[in-house]
Structure formats: C-alpha cells, structure tokens
Amino acid sequence: MTSNSKTQNKSFFRPEIDAMKGYVPGEQPQKRPKGFIKLNTNENPYPSSRLVKKLLSSIAFDRLRLYPDPVGNELRKTIASLHRLKPENVILGNGSDDILAIAVRSFVGQNESIACLEPDYSLYPVLSQIQGAKCIKIPLGKGFSLPLNLIKKAARAKIFMISRPNAPTGTTFPINAIKNLCSNFHGIVLIDEAYADFAKDNCIGFIKKFPNVIISRTLSKSYSLAGVRIGYALAQKKLINGMMKVKDSYNVNFLTQKIASAALQDQEYLRKITEKIRKTRGYLIDSLRKKGFEVCDSEANFVFASPPDGNAGKLYKYLKKNGILIRYFPGPATGKYVRITVGTDRETKRLLELL
Ligand SMILES: *Cc1c(COP(=O)(O)O)cnc(C)c1O
C-alpha cells in the first residue's frame, strides 16, 4: 500500500461540514423491528390503503428499466386536485425532508440566515449548516407558544421554517398569527405541515394569497408510507418553477410516484385511520394526565409529555428495557419531556401499564 503524506491527516471537507454534527434520526432497529413497540418516530401503526397493495401487485416489471417522469406530472395532478390547486402549484420530494433541503438550497446563500423556532424540527438548523448559512433560533414562549416580536427577531432571515402542528410538542399555533407572519415577514415562510392531517385546520388557503408561502406535506405519517419516501410542497407557480431548477433531476422514483398516487386516491381510508389515531391520542393524553404527567395539547400523531419526576431520560431507558421505544431529546428546552407516538389501542395500553 502506498500512502500520500500530504493528505494523510488533512480533512477534505468544507469547514462547515467538519464543524457540524449532522442530523440524528430516531432509532430504526432493522434486525428485530417486531421486538419493539415502536413509538419513537411518529410512524402510523396502521397499514397504508389497500389500493397501495393492489397497485404493487400490478406493477409491470419491465417498467423499472426506464427513468421516471422527472417532475411526476400524474401525481402532481392528483395532489393539486386534492387541495383545489393547479399542478403548477406542486413540486414533489423524496420525502418532505427533500423538499426542505430544496428550499434551503433555493433561497439561502452562504452566510445568509434561516430562522426557526426552538424547539422545532431539528433538521432545519442542520440544513442551514450544510448550506454554510446561519440559523436564527427563536425560543418559544411560555407553554410553547409563539414568542412576542417574532417577525422582528427573524427580520434578517431569508426563510422562516416553522412546523405546524409543532414537532416535537404537537401543539398548534393560532392560524391568524401565522397569517400575520406570512403578510409581514419579508422572506419566504415555509410552513411544514407534516402532521396537518391529524389537526383541526391547515394553512393551504394561504397559497393563493401569499407569493412568499410554501407549505410542505408528507405521506410518511398520515398515509402510512414512511418507507416509500414521498413528500411535496405547495406554492405559487413562480416559487415552484424556481425550486424545480434546484431539485435532483429524478428525485422521486417510479415506484414511489405510483404508490403515492394510489394512496392519495383513498381519502376515505385516510379519514378513517386519522380519526382512529385522534381518538387514541385523546385517551393517551387523559391517561397520562391522570398519572401526573404534564402533557401538551396535541394536534399531531404524538404527544409531548413530562413525567411527574421530570426525569425523561430515565423514563426513556426504562421503556426501552421493556420493549417500547419512545423519543427523548436532551437539552434545555426539551430535556424534561419525552415524545410518544400514538400507536394502536393495544400498544397504548401496554405503554400505560408500564408507567
Ligand atoms: C417527519 C417529519 C418530516 C419528514 O417527513 P419525510 O417526508 O418522511 O421526510 C418533516 N417535518 C417534520 C416536522 C416531521 O416531523
């Protein structure tokens, strides 16, 4: 073996990449996923629509030889009609994480800033680091509410990324406060509606009104398709056209486009399972409160709860030892809480027995 003394100890990476830790996904046990009750990454406990199963058995094997539609027009049409918009208002992503990355690459230059809340989805600051941008983190107020002077605090940012309902708290923000943000913030407002199908309302009505608003959605949670990787963004045509230039040419594969179209056809099934999850969520929240937990009101498919002794790390370890995975985010804003995905009634009962 030869070695090159000039390159041995040198880092080839950009300094921003050397300096960053990288996004830490929740645990995804691959060997014995059935060994755990998995309440840690907000997956849906129910299977996706039967239409997806039917579709999978009808896929022509030979089709895999060919590239997919680069922009996924058939799926864009389905999504547009679902939201009473036009296909030109839709861009597809390899999961909504891809949409978030496309947005940061599209709108934020090196040394410019993104703004986000704290706590919020921990991928936003990571995307900003990869881009070589700065992240203005704005702490939430009392009870995880929107802070005062939000717009002033974010003023220098090119894009404001905000999940609604919020991850990881599950709480929502008043729709008028978000509308106010969209009308008065001078940059892009990206509203991440990953959990909107479990909530009472959403911001899709803003698309027609605001030229600076992007809404991202995913089929990972409500449609039970986390393994398929499909998300999308809605915005006015000008924003979509620009983001089309930034995305990978074939960012959504053929199978995913087909599977997503089938799943979206079955709105009745979506309503059924999201309603079921909302019911179980209510039961879980009530039961945890009876046990002395402090629990945030949730509009998502998970609950954010603090045990009576405030020792969230201990609770996480205890449940893992007993076969239940939940999520724990150490740190000043979140360290007293755990995030628990709403599972089936049986899974929820098992969880409550252990507490
Ligand atoms: C799960 C999640 C996403 C990512 O969804 P994918 O489509 O699976 O990439 C985006 N934003 C938030 C807030 C999420 O919780």
Mean pLDDT of the chain: 96
Q: Rounded CA gap, 337 and 34, in Å?
A: 26
Q: Can you tell me which atom of ligand 1 is nearest the CA of 97?
A: 9
Q: In percent, how much of the chain has pLDDT > 90?
A: 92
What are the pocket residues of ligand 1 if the criterion is a CB atom closer than 6 Å to any ligand atom?
42, 95-97, 121, 163, 167, 192, 194, 218, 220, 226, 231
Q: Whose CA is nearest to atom 2 of ligand 1?
A: 194
**What is the distance in A from the centroid of ligand 1 to the CA of 232?**
11
Average pLDDT of span 2-19: 87
Kind of pairing, strands 338-341 and 327-328?
antiparallel
**What is the distance in A from the centroid of ligand 1 to the CA of 301?**
12
Average pLDDT of span 82-95: 98
Average pLDDT of span 171-180: 97
Kindly report, residue by residue over 211-228, the tens digit of the pLDDT: 999 999 999 999 999 999
**What is the distance in A from the centroid of ligand 1 to the CA of 97?**
6
Confidence of residue 32 (pLDDT cuts 50, 70, 90): low
Q: Can you tell me which atom of ligand 1 is nearest the CA of 230?
A: 7
For a ligand 1 pocket test, name from 41, 42, 79, 97 the mutation site with the most ligand atoms within 8 angstroms of its C-beta: 97
Side-chain half-sphere CA neighbours of 186 within 13 A: 8
Confidence of residue 130 (pLDDT cuts 50, 70, 90): very high
Contact by Cβ (8 Å): 113, 136: yes
Kind of pairing, strands 134-139 and 113-118?
parallel
Given this model, what pLDDT does residue 191 score? 98
Q: Rounded CA gap, 203 and 146, in Å?
A: 16
Kindly report, residue by residue over 267-326, the tens digit of the pLDDT: 999 999 999 999 999 999 999 999 999 999 999 999 999 999 999 999 999 999 999 999
Q: Can you tell me which atom of ligand 1 is nearest the CA of 226?
A: 8
More confidently predicted of 30 and 40 = 40
Confidence of residue 5 (pLDDT cuts 50, 70, 90): confident
